[in-house]
Structure 1
Amino acid sequence: MKNFKKAMKMAGICSMAVVMMAGLAGCGGKAGNNVSSGAKNAAKIGFTAALTGGAAAYGKSEEEGVRLAVEEINGKGDFPIDLMVDDTKAVPAEAMNATKKQIQDKASILIGPMTSNEAKAAGPIIQNAKVPSLEISVTAENITDMGDCIFRNSVPESKNIPQTVKKTHQLLGYQKAAIMYAHDNEQHVTAQKYFKKTMEEEGVEVVDVETFGSKDSEFSAQLTNIQTKNPDVIVVCSYYQEGSRILQKMREMGMNQPVLGDNGFVSPELGRMAGSAADNVYVSSMWSAERKDAKVQNFMDAYTKKYGHAPDQFAASAYDGVYMAVDAMKRAGSTTDHKKIRDALARMKDFKGVCGTFSFDDKRDPVVDLILMKMKDGKYSMVDM
């Protein structure tokens, strides 16, 4: 460990100017640009996300969070990082190719893939190579069951959804619910199962379940079916693109019930696209800019200064992910021994990030508190329970 720290310190000192210039250049460049620290023995972080395509809003937020963290760490000069960035377009085959490429390029640790469908496809590749992977916004079930090298700092739907249901049921007192979900996305299929299960456990009657495709743009038939059942609350499990159109159509049809969303609804893009139709939407999130915490406020200030807009959950979670990866490599005393890095990540306990205080359970899922959020006037705010 002593020699490792000395080597890293010397590399940082020798490359301080290069680090700062490369970090700034990489972080200000186009999506997909790599960042080189200029140090020979730099840690190599491989980051994959959908930087183009239908899920790009999530991916770009994650990229911004990752680049800010790398810039901050490289700016200190004592732990140089080379960042490899690949666009997966939210396509499983692209995620598999990007993962193979980054493994071949000797990544110390992987951050990604971004979506549950991609994670399912790339998981066997990651596990076979025995390279530790920290997945940022993957919430479908059984992701970490693919192998002991796969971790995530995103809360799985089995832990997220029950909190959303129990808190909103206590708050709103609804008795009848209807559910709509995207049938062709692993995350949303999983989410609707836990919404239905938890609502029934809470004594809520699920009066209708409707499905749609993630590329659909017309939802009148499903909403008409739901309207005839007159539920007290409506659940929508989808990304924000379909979700915003569903919300607009609901309000147009005079359906003013509160709406519960899964992780796909957490993006601020939902409010921007749906406008006032998104009012009265509830989600659970690890992240809130309203937290009275110095680490949160420092991140908010740095992020807003750099990018000109506030971070969302995906940016914050990705930012934490880089610091988690670096923490594991430092405690492992290595940037090249994948087993030591994996083992150090597994031992992580009470890591203080901007999204809260994290530990990993025995399935390598995060143990972290969630916050109930409500959309009003295009913005999410914490709900005082």
Structure 2
Amino acid sequence: MPSPVFSRRAILALTGAAILARPAFAQSERVAKIGLVQSTTGGSAALYGTEQKQAIDLAFSEINAAKSLNGITLQALYADDGADRGQTVNIFQRLIRQDRVVAILGPTLSNSAFAADPLAQQAGIPVIASSNTAPNLTKIGDFIFRTSVPEDQVFPTVLRYAVDKHHIKRVALIYGLDDALTRSAHDVQKKAVADLDLEQVAVESYQKGDVDFSAQLTKIRAQNPDAIILGTLAEEAAAILRQARQLGIGEKVVFIGCNANISAKLFELAGAAANGIIVGASWFAGYDSPRSKAFVAAYRARYGTTPDIYAAQGYDAAYILAEAIRRADNATDSKLVRDKLASITKFEGVLGTFGWSADRDATVTPKVLIGDGDSKVFVAAPGA
């Protein structure tokens, strides 16, 4: 079957990455070609994809400079899918059929992963996601891994903390209808609410591209909830936080977010309105470990900004893939690399010490965080 038409933008991105990388390779070196599929355009998704791409670029440059892979050099073939699942499928097909990559890092959105990951599974190409948190993603097959902890392993802990800390009894929920990540986050949130016997007083939704949430928030305000639970991407979360405060929803009403809200852009867009939002994550920039501190320093030195959780998860994805390639001592055998990847346990990463669950999710203890909108950081929740 002929390959689908590949967009000019993605072709240029892939070709450009390959041209930039090739001159550095000596003839005797072995090259591991790795697909890097991130949304660096496409609205809210670009908030996450840019961070991941930058962190993976940083990791590859460090790994190649260290020459620690028995003569193997990592080459990233980068393509921006523009947060378009159809484009993600096209990119995966090219990476697998024409570029013959040994592995793929990405894509940014769970929606795109559900569309494209089955192609890699069928072809026997390992994929490591670093921002996909929708439940059941790795059940696509045994070549699918992720360093991003799924929502259903994080949110129940976050909600339980919020209920205990703020004596929450009545909750309202708002979520995005047309994105796999936000829909699945909402499903997890509804179950967690039911499991704790909380009263669900309102459920509101919106569609991708919406910027005015005043109608939904006005309905929610009328129900006088103790907390508002967000099943949203960071850009929409920021708008909801700002508009809620403008509509007179006071600080006594607690906002509880999902994993997708954990972005430095949340504070840039929401400012002080993000004060007090409660979220759960596998990592935050203030995490006290030598490896994490070194990563934060290196990222700041290279890009002039503080990395977010998606950068951290991308960085660990790059390093754990490199470790699998080192153990395989092979730059082209995808099945061997997959098997070595699956065998890794007690990996010392930025996220801490982790391995893989039976479903190839990273085994990391969730951390409850509080948003400090004035300082534009997430900090560890007291007493969590």
Does the TM-score normalized on the shorter chain lie above 0.5? yes
Task: Select 1:212's aligned residue among 206, 219, 222.
Answer: 206
Greater alpha carbon shift after TM alignment, 112-121 vs 100-109? 100-109
What's the counterpart of residue 128 of structure 1?
122
1:108-142 Cα shifts (integer Å, max 9, x gaps): 11101110110011022111111011011001122
TM-score, length-scaled by structure 1: 0.89
The number of aligned residues is: 357
Supply the RMSD in Å over aligned alpha carbons.
1.7
Secondary structure, counterpart of 2:156 in structure 1: helix
Superposition map of 1:212-361 within 5 A:
212-256=206-250, 257-361=253-357
**Given the superposition, is the C-alpha separation of residues 144 and 285 from structure 1 closer, same or farther in structure 2, using an over 3 Å criterion?**
same
- 1:196 Cα deviation after fit: 1.5
- Following the alignment from structure 1 to structure 2, what is the Cα–Cα distance between the partners of residues 72 and 166? 40
Greater alpha carbon shift after TM alignment, 174-183 vs 278-287? 278-287
What's the counterpart of residue 87 of structure 2?
94
Superposition map of 1:106-125 within 5 A:
106-125=100-119
Residue type of the alignment partner of 1:238: T
- Following the alignment from structure 1 to structure 2, what is the Cα–Cα distance between the partners of residues 294 and 379? 19
1:84 matches 2:82: no
- Following the alignment from structure 1 to structure 2, what is the Cα–Cα distance between the partners of residues 316 and 32? 25
Secondary structure, counterpart of 1:216 in structure 2: coil
Aligned-pair identity (%): 34
- 1:384 Cα deviation after fit: 2.2
- 1:30 Cα deviation after fit: 12
- Following the alignment from structure 1 to structure 2, what is the Cα–Cα distance between the partners of residues 30 and 64? 16
What's the counterpart of residue 148 of structure 1?
142
Tell me, yes or no, if the aligned pair for 1:69 and 1:319 is still in contact at 8 Å.
yes
- Following the alignment from structure 2 to structure 1, what is the Cα–Cα distance between the partners of residues 359 and 60? 27
Aligned structure 1 segments of 4 or more residues deviating by more than 6 angstroms: 29-32
TM-score, length-scaled by structure 2: 0.90
Tell me, yes or no, if the aligned pair for 1:114 and 1:136 is still in contact at 8 Å.
yes
- Following the alignment from structure 2 to structure 1, what is the Cα–Cα distance between the partners of residues 17 and 245? 41
1:55-90 Cα shifts (integer Å, max 9, x gaps): 112111001100100010111124311111110111
- 1:178 Cα deviation after fit: 0.4
Secondary structure, counterpart of 2:120 in structure 1: helix
Greater alpha carbon shift after TM alignment, 30-39 vs 246-255? 30-39
1:161-212 Cα shifts (integer Å, max 9, x gaps): 1121122222222111100000101111111111111122112111111111
Q: Unaligned regions of 5+ residues in structure 2, if any? A: 1-12
- 1:101 Cα deviation after fit: 1.6
Secondary structure, counterpart of 1:369 in structure 2: coil
